[in-house]
Structure 1
């Protein structure tokens, strides 16, 4: 555990945004000469994707096999490589703001709260996140350490985001959503990339990547990146103490073993430290989290004919994390076998088996209020799934039925079925509906922890059952005009056995319980509109309502914490091409307030001005949070402090100058 009470942070001169920059950005939004626009071949390949081509993009997250985005029977949103480039984002969490139904709130300079369809918070636990097939959540609390999840953004091919359950194919904890980050093949990244950026918040960052052919039909890329980020400020204007720095390196090799067999090998190593301020009776103190880890993944695939394939994936992952509360060392081994089979031209069958074991070593320092018993534990998950996509009515109707059977060491056997229906109403219109069951198993923390918060003791409960969801969804995906697409989803989520606290005996001893239930319902909309050849608008909107209850034995406050997502969210993105070498991109977000977290509604404006200096060189000036000096995106529960005393901070206005050179 690292806790430095006397550590002083060097004062850094902060660049101040000038109003003239904002005026310059606004002038850049004037309509371009759309019909006379001359675009290079490379930019045409990036920018020229029409609405129909977007609908035809191949995705894999919904059915665990390649299919068209338009034919996916789920609430799916795809963040393309061009979305990433023109967003001006430097972190994966910032990219997720554009997705309807996904709640993204920055806690401080290095921490985020991210969830889907409600239940947001620092320890959000109902969202499954994957990077190239490697699961990123920690079994410690069934959530994601977003400060440890990174890759070179230019290497990401797409991010597939499913709102709603996907447990039939992906297993427990894929309850309210799945984020599947997919990087490019090494074949697509041959050559070099050098990237540098400087700014007032993102002080310095840099990355280098190089790819080259290997042998007969193979390719390899290696990369390294590093960054240093300034700290933010608290609500009262004090330094947040949350400055952040880190580095990462990795590789990926894609090898063609034969005409049917391919092999992918990839790995990463990262190291960094993230600061924070803690609230104590004596005042604010500085603390630091040391973060490091690495992973190695291998995936063999064999194409067995049209719509038939076999794949075996194995990965090992180690995480090391030390902060002011806990030291965690975790090793994970995961083996996954999957096969796609085309039966009689009408059945697209996918089945698979999975094995995962995770071993941890947890320790706390002297005087810590947290203890875990036992301090070391190994857990295993065994699973199997099967799903059939039956084609009816000459392919215009698809009935999709499947289930997953899983055995874990906390709640033991879990069955997670789903049934989906896809109707191709017209050439450019698909209607789908689904009924699904998903579970969120209890975590190591909820089972084995003991917290002594003054006179109150909170004890883990190894007898917890899984939190359960039954989801009802219906969606419409259509292209009413050649230059306009609409993706609309409505859903009702019915929850049971939600975790709460209950009093044990007559003392001030609480334990975890399954005393909560309720429903969540809402509407989500995503739309693309090409106004001209040079101007595209992207709209996303979501409305969410939660109605949660707890039984008489549960603490009222504990169930209120779950009602922690904004009712309304809106994003409007504009891409304007100015001549052949300039781009002006604006990203406007509105996020409703969250009463239980004393968080106010806010408007966020991010702007990017891009200049293509040469065929292989790009310069971008990026402004973030231009709508105000600073604002909070998530506050502590009803203004109180969280268990470890972490001080939540404000998101500040910032400016970033970024240069990329492809060689």
Structure 2
């Protein structure tokens, strides 16, 4: 008898999930399971299907129905409406997110997956959200997992995970075309479709093209003023085939591309133009065997980016195998191995040798069900990363020899969670995790030499950097207060040791330790964030529904040096103490209307006025109001009118790159 992985929580799941025997996270029938159990279902955390109320992590699940209600044009805009998620929009396409901490430029602390493939840019570990080759209409659900999740999810999952799952073409056929036309003349058009050739084969295709005027520049940033006049442009495409080879074996193959030109803010708090040309290729084989449910995945990400300050060429190839099986009726086990190989051209200046790494990771997860009301999940992961460089950076400028770039990191991460359903109702979660954030290729291999006023200004990566370690702790409680009102609450703390940091205003090395003054990427001390989240959702009988959530955060920095002298970070200043989100919606037979409010308390942000000149900008609290009204003309055609940030008018100072503007657009979609 096969050791399939059907039940991990209450016994009621056995019958319902039997229909999904051998289903992976990408092949699970989410719609059927969610309708059956009256709540979203996921396979993201443990690999086995679970109800949202049983997941051993604080997880937000956003469904396709939810996505259609938002007056937003991208995923960062959607996620800003949820508790514990910090958000900033540094340009029309440069929305950045963070979980429990400030949404800094090029935020490198968040793992983002599309159908199991890493889509964050491994060169610096950040996500260029506008480059994701996914249209909102083809998303099945978005899963947001809070806290350090390296052992459960993998590389770079140090403050949280965003897991994007697309609709399965083997479960439904659809075709949707959509065009948004903005008041300022911009447009965004997309087409998505799924077709089933027979019971054993289906294909999904999508394509988008758009062009929008950029936001106006932050007045004190001379670089932003120079770069802002061009338009934001985006073109993406994807094709995926899913095939049932036998009753026990299935194959998935996917290819994507993205071309994006946008204004953004760099991790050095300086404006830049990024022109992205990305491709990816992925294959996955799933086998429901006598030894468990075995998944083998391979993918390749090819990245070419022209930044204002240089061109980046980067390739990442990943191979991953895992086996998920049951021991008896109460124990679910997952074991896995992963190999990654990355290569980066000499960046941003050529001639200093290509560099990259090879990494191997072993992971294991055990879920034990003590009873229908109590279960425990333990997971561990061991990563080994080996760096090397194939050339010597110019020894008259840079301080490190080729041999010094041969460094190895070995780190262990873990996740532990107790999920308890007490007799008085609701769900308690007690969670702890350790995440490992390894230095990236920028941190280690960056080489830049400029001549400023007749003097050399040298910036260098640093092979002496060590991984940042993130420890997170959380107690969460969810429950239904009434038949129509649900509550979610959490208390959390997140500690980061050896924060990855950029160069500062003063050199880190001087002769005789270096040929000349050199500023380094380096570890810059520690920071911690503690806070409380609480959210309420109501869905009373009738046409109305509502939601409100509040997040309180306190960040404490213990960074080395004196601010403004040798580092750029100021997490204390950038973290909003108070965040409030609210939503009120009405849905009729053909007409629907939604109003959203987002409030952020005052913050401050460092920025470079010019190269080597640093300032701190105060940013006042702000209330953003957004609305959406939609009308279903018939079973196939719908029209909508959207206004994002209506209260901002021609520009609101929310960051140190652009002034966030109110944007209105008319949308028309046709589905068949």
Q: Does 1:211 align with 2:199?
A: no
Which of 114, 123, 133 does residue 140 from structure 1 map onto?
123
Mark the CA change 1:276 to 1:487 in structure 2 (over 3 Å): closer, same or farther.
Answer: closer
Equivalent in the alignment of 1:301: 286
Q: Does 1:292 align with 2:277?
A: yes
Contact 2:124 2:441 (8 Å CA) reproduced: yes
Q: Does 1:600 align with 2:611?
A: no
Equivalent in the alignment of 1:90: 73
Equivalent in the alignment of 1:344: 328
Mark the CA change 1:274 to 1:496 in structure 2 (over 3 Å): closer, same or farther.
Answer: closer
Equivalent in the alignment of 2:414: 417
Distance 1:110 1:651 in 2: 11
Which of 291, 298, 310 does residue 294 from structure 2 map onto?
310
Deviations 1:607-659 (A, max 9, x none): 110101001111111111111314446433xxxxxxxxxxx111211211111
Distance 2:106 2:32 in 1: 38
Which of 434, 437, 440 does residue 434 from structure 2 map onto?
437
1:474 CA displacement? 0.8
Deviations 1:487-511 (A, max 9, x none): 2111112222223567334785433
For the aligned residues, what is the CA RMSD? 2.9
1:56 CA displacement? 3.0
Contact 1:541 1:569 (8 Å CA) reproduced: yes
Contact 1:103 1:116 (8 Å CA) reproduced: yes
Contact 2:359 2:385 (8 Å CA) reproduced: yes
Of the two structures, which has the highest relative contact order with CA contacts closer than 8 Å and spacing of 6 or more? 1
Distance 1:178 1:315 in 2: 19
Q: Does 1:355 align with 2:339?
A: yes
Equivalent positions of 1:14-413 (< 5 A) are 56-201=39-184, 203-236=186-219, 240-274=228-262, 289-304=274-289, 308-364=292-348, 371=349, 374-392=352-370, 394-409=371-386, 411-413=408-410
1:372 CA displacement? 7.2
* SS of residue paired to 1:546: strand
1:221 CA displacement? 2.3
Q: Does 1:660 align with 2:669?
A: yes
Contact 2:133 2:257 (8 Å CA) reproduced: no
* SS of residue paired to 2:629: strand
Greater CA drift, 63-72 or 114-123: 114-123
Distance 1:300 1:330 in 2: 26
Q: Does 1:573 align with 2:593?
A: no
1:484 CA displacement? 1.4
Contact 1:51 1:482 (8 Å CA) reproduced: no
1:452 CA displacement? 4.9
Contact 1:309 1:339 (8 Å CA) reproduced: yes
Distance 1:565 1:608 in 2: 29
Mark the CA change 1:362 to 1:532 in structure 2 (over 3 Å): closer, same or farther.
Answer: farther
Deviations 1:563-611 (A, max 9, x none): 3221211111222013x11000111111222224422221111111010
Distance 1:610 1:293 in 2: 34
Question: Where do 5+ consecutive residues of structure 1 fail to align?
Answer: 1-47, 279-283, 365-370, 637-647
Equivalent positions of 1:553-592 (< 5 A) are 558=567, 560-563=569-572, 564-578=574-588, 580-592=589-601
Greater CA drift, 267-276 or 601-610: 267-276
1:515 CA displacement? 4.1
Greater CA drift, 156-165 or 57-66: 57-66
Contact 2:45 2:153 (8 Å CA) reproduced: no
Mark the CA change 1:172 to 1:316 in structure 2 (over 3 Å): closer, same or farther.
Answer: closer
**TM-score normalised according to structure 1 size:** 0.83
Q: Does 1:466 align with 2:504?
A: no
* SS of residue paired to 2:322: strand
Deviations 1:270-322 (A, max 9, x none): 223335799xxxxx9x98543212112111212348x9522111112211111
Contact 2:137 2:176 (8 Å CA) reproduced: no
Mark the CA change 1:188 to 1:362 in structure 2 (over 3 Å): closer, same or farther.
Answer: farther
Mark the CA change 1:157 to 1:191 in structure 2 (over 3 Å): closer, same or farther.
Answer: closer
Distance 2:471 2:447 in 1: 31
Distance 1:438 1:504 in 2: 30
Deviations 1:239-271 (A, max 9, x none): 932411122222122222222222222221222
Contact 1:100 1:525 (8 Å CA) reproduced: yes
Mark the CA change 1:375 to 1:103 in structure 2 (over 3 Å): closer, same or farther.
Answer: farther
Contact 2:510 2:518 (8 Å CA) reproduced: yes
Contact 2:94 2:264 (8 Å CA) reproduced: no
Contact 1:164 1:176 (8 Å CA) reproduced: yes
* SS of residue paired to 1:558: coil
1:188 CA displacement? 4.1
Mark the CA change 1:183 to 1:192 in structure 2 (over 3 Å): closer, same or farther.
Answer: same
Equivalent in the alignment of 1:504: 509
Contact 1:405 1:415 (8 Å CA) reproduced: yes
* SS of residue paired to 1:187: coil
* SS of residue paired to 2:122: coil
Mark the CA change 1:199 to 1:515 in structure 2 (over 3 Å): closer, same or farther.
Answer: closer
Distance 1:521 1:200 in 2: 41
Equivalent in the alignment of 2:612: none
Q: Does 1:529 align with 2:538?
A: yes
* SS of residue paired to 1:186: coil
Distance 1:52 1:186 in 2: 19
Q: Does 1:614 align with 2:623?
A: no
**TM-score normalised according to structure 2 size:** 0.82
Distance 1:408 1:170 in 2: 17
Distance 1:203 1:151 in 2: 20
Equivalent in the alignment of 1:39: none
Contact 2:140 2:167 (8 Å CA) reproduced: yes
* SS of residue paired to 2:137: helix
* SS of residue paired to 2:414: strand
